[in-house]
Structure 1
Amino acid sequence: MKDIFDFFSKKNDCQLIIVNDDKQAQVASDIVSYYGYEAFVLADFRANFGDDLLSFSEEIQSITKELNGFYNYKKQKKILISPIRTISYAMPKQKCFDTFTINFADTINIEEFKSKLYNWGYYFVDIVTSQSEVSFRGDIVDICPLGSDIGYRISLFDDEVESIRKFDIEDQKSFKEEIESFDISPAFLALDETTFEELNDEVQQVESDAFVKDIHSLGFWYLNDLGEYLPTVMNSYITYEALDELDEVYVFEEKRIAKEKFLQTPIVPKSKDYKEVDVANINDFLTFHEDKQITIISSSEAKIKGFDLDLTNSKINYIIKPYIINVVSNDEVIISLNKEIKKRRKKRVKLVLDELQEGDFVVHEKHGIGKYNGIEPVTVMGAKRDFVIVLYAGDDKLLIPVENLDLIDRYVADGSSYAVVDKLGKGSFAKLKQKVKDRLFAIANDIIKIAAARELVNGIKINTDKQLLIDFQKSAGFEYTKDQVRSITEIFEDLSSGKVMDRLLSGDVGFGKTEVAMNAILAILLDGYQAIFVCPTTLLATQHYQGMAKRFKEYGITMAKLDGKSTTKEKNHIKKGLESGEIQFVVGTHSLLDVKTKDLALVVIDEEHKFGVKQKEKLKALREDVHIFSMSATPIPRTLNLALSKLKGMSSLLTPPHERLGVRTYVKEYSEKLIKEIILREKRRGGQLFYVHNNIASIEAKRSDIEQIVPNIKVEVIHSKIKPADAEKIIDAFENKQFDILLATSIVESGLHLPNANSIIIDGADRFGIADLHQLRGRVGRSDKEGFCYYIVEDKKTITSDAIKRLIALESNSYLGSGTALAHQDLEIRGGGNIIGEAQSGHIKQIGYGLYLKMLEDALATLSGEIKEQNKSVDIKLAISAFISSDYIVEDRVRLELYRRLSKATTKEEVYAIEEEMEDRFGKPDIPTKQFLELILIKIFAINKNIKQISSYEMNITFIKNDDTKDNIKSPSKDDDDIIATTLKYLRK
């Protein structure tokens, strides 16, 4: 920092500063901004020539955005700042960047507009959910230009721009105010048709293992005449730190600028005048340097006041900016009150499209499991309506009116279950449901009884208001996420309340659950009580014990580890120590289920879904007033969370730690050359690999293949048929770096924390569900090293287009599909099954998780004395054409999603809100769509009036109530609009 600061303080000038990495780039950006330059910072681009760039799409987009900004910035003082790896490649020339503006009342030629956006690198999608995407829907165009966090919605009247409004890409709703204009910059490069075709043709000819060969995945590597090496054409300087990186950069030399060119670039001289400072007490520091020229930088005036500094002091120069600069010289001091801003993470899209595919299994509440066979228009009594087709055993078909789509749900059981379709009209599903219901009442009853009994017991009151606990949090070496802070507060409130705590913390792999638990453990131990920490495997026990021993070292706590590996002598010593109170804290496995203790106040259960109900009850029985804190890596479904939160405390961690890097994901076709390159690349950086091959029968053959492809590599195999003790030995050896590759089935999906294994190869990735792929990817990138995940398919020509879409969505780490959101949904559905503790897989398999959870919630609500509204339905047989027309909304999955949301609506306000959203996103509804919305209103009003059937014939409309009484009324004509108006008038009375 001091070198760059000194360089610019001496009025030196340049166009390009070459630095070491993105951290140094941020420092340089703050300094040049302080000296009045406009800074454009290129991303730290760590790809090697020829890599498939879909998994580097974030960096490529950032580079495009910054270069576009740099070249189009018209004022004099501007600087490009780049990490050395990025600038070692040719960058697109100035002619590749341009911007055009869309104004209110412009005339747009749609075909030319589409062609331009295509040539400029935009993705064409159904729904715009991230930058560089565009969607055309009739006379509505949605676009999210590169570098923008919001989308723009253009409404056309014929070919004229009738209105432009911003919209939120998370929930698709537009803002009320119209705007005059907005700019569109290229998503990749501003290419004309001919140049685009030439570049595309070249990319197609390239030999590459990229899954999809196109400009997005490979175009950057083949710029040819469109590219130039910027250090050779710009007035540039390089820092000493960047020069130190040269050998690292040139491990893979291909297509980079010659190393000598960097050695010839002038170096930013070392500063003799300035020193960097880290100020602990700012007021003391300023008193010490009061004879110097003082500058204080702060992002706000409030922050200055917070440090008790006087804004009116004329001796101090205050600058309100976000810069972080801390330097001192013989005659000057510059101090920043700002802290480093964490990199913003991509938000998850709130709108999850219903990706129900034809052939997927669904569960109907009354008729059981069938196969979804799409939506078909059917004409009944001269009127056209949409029906969902579900196939049952014996080729039976069930036609469900789309307004009753809420009666079916996706069928999800555990990953290995294959559904068996039911027979229509047999009544067997009703009997099965009753059987499950009885079983669920028993489970719900147990849950409530246990909770009620614990409610009556006085808990051990813990003092959580201690300075030592605050110091412990500060010593973590990282900043807690908001969720961690909130969860710790909730636990401390429970512990100090005088009631018995029973709290569940759910959070994704590596989101910091253990750190939260350690706060609770320390609070207990500081008050003189004992705590035990139970985990499902010896390996996890060892990992937790080592981590906690380090963190608790300075508190003088006597702690031990008790697991399957402990000798009889050790076991006896630990058990005696717990009973006498000599040992305060033990980490262990099932061996802890029957220990005796002196002053036990807390039991922490890790991976609680791996323990059965009986085992958890045994732990609660260790002492009747013991506090229980459970942790699980499986998200809990929201509705079940609400039902259970009356009985249990619930906390969740939804944000990843700040320092966690995303996992670089690639989709590849299998080749020996590729497997060899992946393994050697990880070996070169001193790491190890997971290789997932989900077939026990052929796993040994796979091991031989790997050993032939890369001789001298050590491979060990692990799967569910290997004895637990042997499996733990293998994993232990892997953790101690005794071999290179752990070849396993998907058994490695959860629980392991092996920071040195940072590449994972997943064989036959097209055969895994999206949730499993997401979980497996979470095995790597768990330290400060970047993780690499390779989804391998045997032959891309033979896999379905849906599998390709799913894999590419995961590869670009984006929300092009609803990849991660869907994974989350799947995991949530599975998570509910774990809470109950018993493996209810038989019942779940028969009726699916969705319905199982619904029934458990009902059972819990009933036993808790809540009145839960029974789902009522109404049979509507009106001779009107009512459906969301495909002319109005072209994409089937978007129509299906709207049908699903409308069928679940229970108030007229919900319907009007969805109608407003539809008008906003797709323009004014056409007649059949408008009539479908009115049909949903009819359904809601009829349910509220206890009407079970509405039908019409000619001009006669009949209403049948639940008590079988009838009402007949007449419509002025048999036209659709008259029948609807008459029906609504009757229902609104």
Structure 2
Amino acid sequence: MFYGKLKATIDKSEFLRSFDEQIKEKKSGTLIYKLNRSLKSLLLARAFVESGKNIVFITADDKLAEDYLDDLDLLVGNKNSFILPDYEVLPYEERSPHYSIRAQRISALARAVSGKPAIYTLSLRSFLRKIVSENLFRKNIIRLHKNREYNPQLLISNLVGAGYEVQFQVSRVGEIARRGGIIDIFGSGTGKPVRIEFFGDEVESIRVFSVSTQRSTGEELDSVIINPAREFSLHDIDTDEKIWEKIHQHGFYEGIELDIALLLPEIGTFLDFFGSEKTIVFWDEFQYFSSLIQEITEETTEFWEKAKQKRKMLPRPEDIFADSSFLKKTLNKYQNLFLSSSFQEFSEIKTTLESPAVSQTNFHGDLELLESSISAKLKTGYKIIIQSDNGSQSKRMRDLLPQFENKIDFTIGVFQKGFTLPDAKLSIYTDHEIFSRYKRRRRHARFSKEEALVDYESLKPGDYIVHIDHGIGVYEGLKKITIEGNTIECLTLKYADNDVVYVPTFQLSLVSKFVSEEGIVPTIHKLGSKKWENAKNRARKQIELIAEDLVNLYAERRLRKGIAFDADTSWQRELEDSFIYEDTPDQKIAAKEIKADMESDSPMERLLCGDVGFGKTEVAIRAAFKAVMSGWQVAILVPTTLLAEQHFLVFKERLAQYPVRIAMFSRFRSKAEIKKDVSALATGEIDIAIGTHRLLSGDIKYK
């Protein structure tokens, strides 16, 4: 953990020793100011490590809470830092939180009742939200131990009540399956699916298994903790008969979380999970919270006024969110400290503590200025740390600053913001701020790849579906059917003459969504007719004819020689490692295959497909750079002037650290500029030309 590496240095800081006194003496109401985000995270980590208490940090919104979580993960590790995201659902909207949000919330709540201290970041909205009580949540966590007894039928009942779905076989988190004395469980707390084998009521073995093969991996466990799949159990509900009818019909119906005041005998807030003696509450920019609470209250009341015209039984606004009086109770009951970027004045402040820290300068890629800054600080005894995202970027920084190789620390893992703490003689630089390229991380839920949701939820009733054996039908929704005592969730497909086919969700490979040109309405097939088989036979014959033409075409192409580009250089690897996002699996495969084709002497002909924002441009940049490094020029043809400018800016930013000249050919450039670039293109001075149809003009020549 990065905090451990910093501790000896920051212990010298008089500012931090004063902060330690605030924590140790349980002082409340202190405003600590002149802090950037990463300095705030450092204070949270220090309070956590030095006090051994729970740290609850409240921010204005979920985005800020996530940013702080990134820093805290680096400082104390993701096993000690959690986020409690809000539902991202409007008040009184009949919709439940997304699966990934539920998983993150369950993880945070489970840690909160575990007795182990941790740091929790959450938005003000999540802080005020009424949720299940600590007692009810705690009793729904199941612990199984090898060679101990637990009635299998009771286990199934408790898991179903806690939100688990019974399936024929387990394929994702929140599912269970039973075959005689064997119960498969994929719980959010385990990270891996487990297979429990019973001998009567005794747990005989607990084994990890793979959802793809349904076979044991060989890993055996002595015990397992199974968190609930929902924040409360259906067994906890004590409510009106009319709502019971809805629950009996739908179970966890959409929006059930917002009705907990009508359902549960005990509710509270997240802070109720923590005792005041073992918890410190930190507030981020507290001066804005009064107006934010008012906004939340007014919004909830407005939606309540609209919703009560349609529904008779509704929780009142005060049953969904706590109000400003809860804020005052928190300030009186817990130790509270206020963190701010600047000096503030509000009535809750009792004393102030000014930070001597200074945020990192943005160097805009000026390495001479960076070298000067580092040299000056080294002369006065500073400890210098340069942070990078990964090993390759760290190596690149070492190569760019060889004179400091044994004088400063190059580390992996990056803060949101760098800073200098003068009284500790510590400076932390981030490579993002050195090169003016800021980290924009793709968010991932904190569970294993095996927990990924199988997405048939994007289908809507009325969509046309193609079944490989039965042809085109209409999707009518999901239905649970019971076969030999097992309840199986199925897609319901309707065909001609009102015939119906049920497709189990674990056989989704048999169906696909109907795709055609816009406006075309397909004919619904009749079960048992030969129409679908005849259509497939005609398609096979057409495919064979097309395949024959393609074989001839590619046989001819194989005889031609293309350009065999050079293998990847060190610069190529550095460029790819400096990408600010983590490559998606498909992005890695596409880039690897395209570069392999480029190194072959056979002509390449590829179509790269992907949705907006999924990294197609980055793959193109890597291919273009590889061509330039092999001594060739590259033309990027785009359909619009606006797209030409966007690509030009992205290429310029990505290749700014390399001697590659890029030009744009479009109507955004003057005639004089175009004329100059046309000439430079012909002489080979321009490496990459990006433009519209202007690149196809007769005066465009390449070296």
TM-score, with structure 2 as normaliser: 0.58
Secondary structure of 2:229's counterpart equals coil
1:86 alignment partner, one of 122, 126, 141: 126
- Report the CA distance shift for 1:448/1:343 in structure 2 as closer, same or farther (over 3 A): same
The residue type paired with residue 378 of structure 2 is F
- What is aligned with 1:239? 283
Q: What does residue range 42-57 of structure 1 map to in structure 2 within 5 Å?
A: 42-57=84-99
- What is aligned with 1:945? none
Report how far residue 184 of structure 1 moved: 2.5
Is this contact kept in 1: 2:641–2:666, CA < 8 A?
Answer: yes
- Report the CA distance shift for 1:221/1:233 in structure 2 as closer, same or farther (over 3 A): farther
What is the CA–CA distance in structure 2 between the aligned matches of 1:512 and 1:303, rounded to whole Å?
20
Secondary structure of 2:355's counterpart equals coil
Secondary structure of 2:643's counterpart equals helix
1:549 alignment partner, one of 633, 638, 648: 648
Is this contact kept in 2: 1:127–1:135, CA < 8 A?
Answer: yes
Is this contact kept in 1: 2:442–2:582, CA < 8 A?
Answer: no
The residue type paired with residue 617 of structure 2 is T
Secondary structure of 2:266's counterpart equals helix
Tell me whether 1:417 sits opposite 2:522 in the alignment: yes
- Report the CA distance shift for 1:55/1:597 in structure 2 as closer, same or farther (over 3 A): farther
Tell me whether 1:126 sits opposite 2:168 in the alignment: yes
CA RMSD across the alignment: 6.0
Deviations along 1:75-124, one digit per CA (max 9) or x if unpaired, are 6x555443323112134332121333222343443443333223333333
The residue type paired with residue 135 of structure 2 is K
- What is aligned with 1:644? none
What is the CA–CA distance in structure 2 between the aligned matches of 1:350 and 1:17, rounded to whole Å?
29
- What is aligned with 2:355? 272
Secondary structure of 2:285's counterpart equals helix
Q: What does residue range 670-749 of structure 1 map to in structure 2 within 5 Å?
A: none
What is the CA–CA distance in structure 1 between the aligned matches of 2:512 and 2:171, rounded to whole Å?
27
Report how far residue 412 of structure 1 moved: 7.8
- What is aligned with 2:65? 22
What is the CA–CA distance in structure 1 between the aligned matches of 2:184 and 2:372, rounded to whole Å?
50
Tell me whether 1:69 sits opposite 2:111 in the alignment: yes
Is this contact kept in 2: 1:150–1:169, CA < 8 A?
Answer: no
2:620 alignment partner, one of 517, 522, 526: 517
- What is aligned with 2:477? none
1:188 alignment partner, one of 230, 242, 251: 230
Is this contact kept in 2: 1:3–1:270, CA < 8 A?
Answer: no
* Higher gyration radius (CA): 1
Indicate the larger mover: 326-335 or 280-289.
280-289
What is the CA–CA distance in structure 1 between the aligned matches of 2:149 and 2:268, rounded to whole Å?
34
Deviations along 1:672-718, one digit per CA (max 9) or x if unpaired, are xxxxxxxxxxxxxxxxxxxxxxxxxxxxxxxxxxxxxxxxxxxxxxx
- What is aligned with 1:735? none
Secondary structure of 2:281's counterpart equals strand
Deviations along 1:14-41, one digit per CA (max 9) or x if unpaired, are 644323232344267459849x995554
Q: What does residue range 519-598 of structure 1 map to in structure 2 within 5 Å?
A: 519-521=622-624, 527=631, 529=633, 531=635, 533=637, 541-552=640-651, 557-561=662-666, 585=689, 587-588=691-692
Tell me whether 1:330 sits opposite 2:401 in the alignment: no
- What is aligned with 1:788? none
- Report the CA distance shift for 1:52/1:211 in structure 2 as closer, same or farther (over 3 A): farther
Deviations along 1:751-794, one digit per CA (max 9) or x if unpaired, are xxxxxxxxxxxxxxxxxxxxxxxxxxxxxxxxxxxxxxxxxxxx
Deviations along 1:868-895, one digit per CA (max 9) or x if unpaired, are xxxxxxxxxxxxxxxxxxxxxxxxxxxx
- Report the CA distance shift for 1:548/1:508 in structure 2 as closer, same or farther (over 3 A): closer
The residue type paired with residue 5 of structure 1 is L
What is the CA–CA distance in structure 2 between the aligned matches of 1:585 and 1:261, rounded to whole Å?
61
The residue type paired with residue 132 of structure 2 is P
Taking only the aligned residue pairs, the percentage that are identical comes to 19
Is this contact kept in 2: 1:199–1:215, CA < 8 A?
Answer: no
What is the CA–CA distance in structure 2 between the aligned matches of 1:484 and 1:411, rounded to whole Å?
24
What is the CA–CA distance in structure 2 between the aligned matches of 1:12 and 1:429, rounded to whole Å?
72
What is the CA–CA distance in structure 2 between the aligned matches of 1:493 and 1:452, rounded to whole Å?
19
Q: What does residue range 293-312 of structure 1 map to in structure 2 within 5 Å?
A: none
| Structure 1, gaps ≥5 residues long | 310-314, 373-390, 395-405, 536-540, 602-989
Report how far residue 370 of structure 1 moved: 10
- What is aligned with 2:590? 487
The residue type paired with residue 258 of structure 1 is D
Deviations along 1:30-60, one digit per CA (max 9) or x if unpaired, are 59849x9955542355444333453334323
Q: What does residue range 214-233 of structure 1 map to in structure 2 within 5 Å?
A: 215=256, 218-219=259-260, 225-228=266-269, 230=271
Q: What does residue range 149-188 of structure 1 map to in structure 2 within 5 Å?
A: 149-188=191-230
- What is aligned with 1:139? 181
Q: What does residue range 314-325 of structure 1 map to in structure 2 within 5 Å?
A: none
- What is aligned with 2:12? none
Secondary structure of 1:66's counterpart equals helix
Is this contact kept in 2: 1:393–1:423, CA < 8 A?
Answer: no
Q: What does residue range 752-791 of structure 1 map to in structure 2 within 5 Å?
A: none
Secondary structure of 1:515's counterpart equals helix
The residue type paired with residue 550 of structure 1 is L
The residue type paired with residue 531 of structure 1 is A
Report how far residue 150 of structure 1 moved: 0.7
Tell me whether 1:106 sits opposite 2:145 in the alignment: no
Secondary structure of 2:126's counterpart equals helix
- What is aligned with 1:781? none
Secondary structure of 1:506's counterpart equals coil
Q: What does residue range 820-831 of structure 1 map to in structure 2 within 5 Å?
A: none
What is the CA–CA distance in structure 2 between the aligned matches of 1:337 and 1:435, rounded to whole Å?
61
Report how far residue 288 of structure 1 moved: 0.8
- What is aligned with 1:116? 158
Give the count of matched residue pairs. Answer: 538
Is this contact kept in 2: 1:392–1:423, CA < 8 A?
Answer: no
Is this contact kept in 1: 2:144–2:223, CA < 8 A?
Answer: yes
Deviations along 1:412-453, one digit per CA (max 9) or x if unpaired, are 864543255699899x978x8887666444422322232233
Secondary structure of 1:251's counterpart equals helix
The residue type paired with residue 560 of structure 1 is F
- Report the CA distance shift for 1:166/1:473 in structure 2 as closer, same or farther (over 3 A): closer
Is this contact kept in 1: 2:293–2:323, CA < 8 A?
Answer: no
- Report the CA distance shift for 1:329/1:12 in structure 2 as closer, same or farther (over 3 A): farther
- Report the CA distance shift for 1:412/1:337 in structure 2 as closer, same or farther (over 3 A): closer
| Structure 2, gaps ≥5 residues long | 1-37, 301-319, 340-351, 364-369, 400-405, 433-438, 475-493, 498-506
What is the CA–CA distance in structure 2 between the aligned matches of 1:126 and 1:468, rounded to whole Å?
51
Deviations along 1:783-823, one digit per CA (max 9) or x if unpaired, are xxxxxxxxxxxxxxxxxxxxxxxxxxxxxxxxxxxxxxxxx
What is the CA–CA distance in structure 2 between the aligned matches of 1:552 and 1:306, rounded to whole Å?
20
Secondary structure of 2:158's counterpart equals helix
- Report the CA distance shift for 1:335/1:93 in structure 2 as closer, same or farther (over 3 A): farther
Is this contact kept in 1: 2:419–2:428, CA < 8 A?
Answer: yes
What is the CA–CA distance in structure 1 between the aligned matches of 2:690 and 2:397, rounded to whole Å?
43
Tell me whether 1:500 sits opposite 2:500 in the alignment: no
Is this contact kept in 2: 1:29–1:41, CA < 8 A?
Answer: no
Is this contact kept in 1: 2:190–2:226, CA < 8 A?
Answer: no
What is the CA–CA distance in structure 2 between the aligned matches of 1:282 and 1:348, rounded to whole Å?
49
Tell me whether 1:288 sits opposite 2:381 in the alignment: no
Tell me whether 1:256 sits opposite 2:361 in the alignment: no
Structure with the larger RCO, 1 or 2 (CA within 8 Å, 6+ apart)? 2
- What is aligned with 2:18? none
Is this contact kept in 2: 1:25–1:83, CA < 8 A?
Answer: no
